[in-house]
Amino acid sequence: MQSVGIYEAKTRFSALIELVEQGEEVRITRHGKEVVRMLPVRRKPVITDEQIARELKQIQALQQTIQAPKATDSVAVLRRTGRSDA
C-alpha cells in the first residue's frame, strides 16, 4: 500500500495507475486524511469456489446431525432433557 498527497498524485498519476494495475493499493490524502483509495479492479478472490463448496458441504453435514425438537415435546420436557434426578 502506498499513500500520497493530492499534489503528488496529480503529478505521478500515470505511475500510480501502473502500481494499481500491478495489484498495489494506493491511497490519496488531503492534509494527512485519506480521501481516495485506488484498488485494482480484478483482485484474486479471498476464497476459492472449491473452498466455498467444501464449507457448504460441512455445514450441510452438521445440519443433518442436529435434531429438531418434536412438536409434541412440551417446554417442561425439553427443560428436563439431560438433567439428572440427583
CA distance 30 to 2: 14
The yes-or-no verdict on residue 86 having pLDDT over 60 is no
Residue 82 belongs to a domain: no
The mean pLDDT value for 17-43 works out to 91
CATH of the domain at 44: 3.40.1620.10
The yes-or-no verdict on residue 29 having pLDDT over 90 is yes
Residue 85 belongs to a domain: no
pLDDT at 71: 66
Residue 59 belongs to a domain: yes
Residue 60 belongs to a domain: yes
The domain in which residue 23 lies consists of: 1-65
> Tens digit of pLDDT for each residue in 49-75?
899 999 999 999 998 888 776 666 677
Residue 37 belongs to a domain: yes
Residue 46 belongs to a domain: yes
Report how many domains make up the chain.
Answer: 1
Residue 24 belongs to a domain: yes
Which residue from 2, 1, 4, 42 is spatially nearest to 21, judged by alpha carbons?
Answer: 42
The yes-or-no verdict on residue 30 having pLDDT over 80 is yes
